[in-house]
Structure 1
Amino acid sequence: MRRTVNIGLLGLGTVGGGVVKLLEQNGRAIAQKLGRPLEIRRILVRDLNRSRAVKVPPELLTARAETILEDPDIHIIVEVMGGLEPAREYILKALRQGKSVVTANKDLLALYGKELFAAADAGGADLFFEASVGGGIPIVHSLKECLAGNRISRVMGIVNGTTNYILTKMSREEREFAEVLAEAQRLGYAEADPRSDIEGDDAARKMAILASIAFGTRVTYPEVYHEGIANLHPQDIKYAADLGYAIKLLGIAWDDGEAVEVRVHPALVPLTHPLASVGGAFNAIFVEGDAVGEAMFYGQGAGEMPTASAVVGDIMEAARNLIHGTRGRISCTCFTQKPIKPIEDIVTRYYLRMIVKDRPGVLAAIAGVFGERQVSLASVIQVGMVGEQAELVFITHLVRERNLREALEILEGLPVVNQIACVIRVEGGTAH
């Protein structure tokens, strides 16, 4: 190898610009830590003439990926362009040529991880992806190395900053979802098209990656059940708080030894749980292992410089391996294939809000339906009146989701039940 470790950067958007800034800002310290300097040799962009937030010498820019991928003097490819194609094509080509790759692309990993890791093994190259989950939070490295001696039974967390910002504002200011979303878009916390965030898709991709690493079994994005936050109402956030809970969009992964469940949805979290206090656009990931016990990783889960921090950390690890003529940690840790539990088979607790007729015998009729379907109620509270109707809130004990759905289907047909207004799972208790 030459004394300088040369980098080919695919993309110069928000994250790519952050990588350039960080390498310039801390380049001397990085070189001292590695024993060799890192240098960006070429940068792939779509438009050579576009004005950019970060200044780079024009001669570094190219619109042809081959200029980077086929340059023998470029040792590490850094993919921060996003999307599935042509990013997948470029990464596969680089890995098969033996070039190490650092990527922040959660979409690719959640769908095509197996193919990418196979290409890395075939080419004898490293594939690092810390920035794909949790921005600057070092969760991938921690699961793959620091906690590798544990049997991880649970990973649960807030892995989307946009939805956490929205829910925090709704909770603290008792405002409607649509109003807070519009504000988040104005402030840059939410995209112009926010569907991937608010519908849970972004979090589902990240949970597919985390579950695969934590449990050693491959989980892909289509296998992750997910719901979004658009249907949450301020009154449910308020009622939850009165009962001692916060509502968060959670990514949840369990391994019971036989099967795994991986899901993303709004959930009530006890105010005593560490995740309940995570506010704003921050992320937090709670891990439970047989040796370490409970651990939580907290920090900024997105943004230019936090994400660049994770990317540069991976670049340094890839460079260190090249300098010493070795490969790093095993790219793929999916050594088994456990079944994914259908959402109907999960067992958890539930928060329910119903609008019912205010007359004698209503509660007994509802309780009878729940009892027939083996849904045990922990508490029932009349929280108010809606005209001449009563508004009831129920919290269940642990129950199988299939049983709850069957009970709710029957209840919807009862003349005394006018509306099942809200159903939210309750999480953050002991393992089931």
Structure 2
Amino acid sequence: MKKHYQHSPWVQPARLIAQLGFLAFASFAAWRHQKLGGGPEGAASVDALCPFGGLEALFKFVSSGEFIQRLNTSDFVLLAGTIALALVLGRYFCGWICPLGTLQELARKIGQKLFRKVQLSVPAMLDKPLRWLKYVVLAWALVFTWKTGSLIIRPYDPWAAYAHGFAGWNEMWSEFAVGSSILFASLLISLFVDRVFCRYLCPLGAFLGIVSKLGLFSIKRNGKSCLACNKCEKTCPVTIPIMAAPAVRSAECIGCLTCTTTCPTGKRGTEHEGQTFLLPAIAGKQIRPAVIGWAGLVIFLGMIATAQFAGYWRTQPASISAAVTSEGRLDAQAIRGYMTLEEIAKTYGVELGKLYRELGFSEQQVPATTRCKEIRTLLGDSGAEFDTQNVRDAVSRLQDTKHN
């Protein structure tokens, strides 16, 4: 008896809609944070909406019960969601949700339109060793974040750079010069090579790849109906050798299902109607691609909704003091760009007048209600080199004077 018809021609359009939806939401959240600022009265930062942040913060939270600055319980919820996805559906997060992955895919689509005659591929002798880089980045990020108690990878994060682009070029480049360079280089190369950042540098992708190897997801082959057309390998965005094994369980697979929806076998009216060569499988049981798509969204969004209902979803600190307290003390280096001079003086217990003198300008030039990130604009040419770090250093000096 023939299997039911397995092809779902709308799976890839549906995946694109999901990707664009998550990218639009993440972009709006980033813009809103830059518009309203952070803190208890502001909007969630990009750091509080990052599953990798939960992984970075895990050791500090378990060992001391404290969060790394800029993070909150939302990071742990998102981390749990991506791990659940990886265990059941592989790197679904990478292929269906990740905004940075979507940006690279969009760049590739543009490249295919503009440069149809340019076909580039990374030679195997370079590709294989380069893929190990992301595991090195993962180990480096975790070890030094856990060791220092700060987000060591943040200045190099292309997604953080993208999110701060809504604040303008100056902030994007002054605080995220390396991250911005990686972002632009990744998008430029992605015009010609699929998902270059995902393949070689993404630490979250490396982590989810490891977890997915322990999970239930695979792509199963039906050798009897194979046409040997090689379309599955040609269209795979991460160039997995799909034809080389009975089932694909590669840590590189991003669960995009492009191979299964591209496979020409199993179509109506053919000799092997319903006997599709490639199908996703969970615990060895083949599943319709459409079911995989819906299941992933239900798992991920369902975990977020459950956390919100249970009161565990929090993206912002309860107070300014909570945002800048580390290991039981007020940390001047935790001052954020959204904080006003008035809030900083009150929180750290320093005289506002002394803070102005330490900063080298007057309240007439910069009102006390001014956010740190806006000071440079008010100072004009004289404040060309000014940024939030100047405020952090000034408060640190005042704290040292006060304690001495």
Is TM more than 0.5 here? no
Bin the TM-score by the shorter chain: under 0.3
Q: TM-score, normalised by structure 1?
A: 0.25
- Between Structure 1 and Structure 2, the one with more strand by share is 1
- Between Structure 1 and Structure 2, the one with more helix by share is 2
Q: TM-score, normalised by structure 2?
A: 0.26
